[in-house]
Amino acid sequence: MSSCNEIPKGCEEFKTGKFTYTDEEYSNIIIERNDSLQIERAPDYTIMSKIEWVSECTYTIECYEVANKPNDPRIGTKLTVDILRIEDDKYRYDARVGEYSQKGWIEKIKE
């Protein structure tokens, strides 16, 4: 019997490495992640964030710098991200900040 709140197996595979969004709108963004930092690189910006894993499949990211944009409204914003489902080298996520929520897929880039 499976539960709606069942934790996916294999979340640890996504704690470090290089990733990309599978949604076409964001497919030009490369995410690099280590134990404590996440860097999102797009053609026109780079976002540096602290990452903290609060459970096996949930993490928070807090933006502390947007390159060349010192007053960017994303600075200081903290997102909570749940890994909902894992399929091969990608995961379905739900990212939330306040009332805003976004779901999508992130795929690990094989090096």
State whether residue 65 is helix, strand or coil.
strand
> Using CA atoms, how far apart are residues 53 and 61, in angstroms rounded to an integer?
9
Residues β-bridged to residue 87: 90
Residue 69's pLDDT band (cuts 50, 70, 90): confident
Q: Using an 8 Å Cβ cutoff, are 40 and 47 in contact?
A: yes
Share of the chain above pLDDT 70, in %: 94
Task: Give the β-pairing of 100-108 and 90-97.
Answer: antiparallel
| Cβ neighbours for 102, distance < 8 A, ≥ 6 positions apart | 94, 95, 96
What mean pLDDT, rounded, does the chain reach? 91
**Per-residue model confidence as pLDDT tens digits over 13-40:** 999 999 999 998 888 999 999 989 999 9
**pTM, full prediction:** 0.88
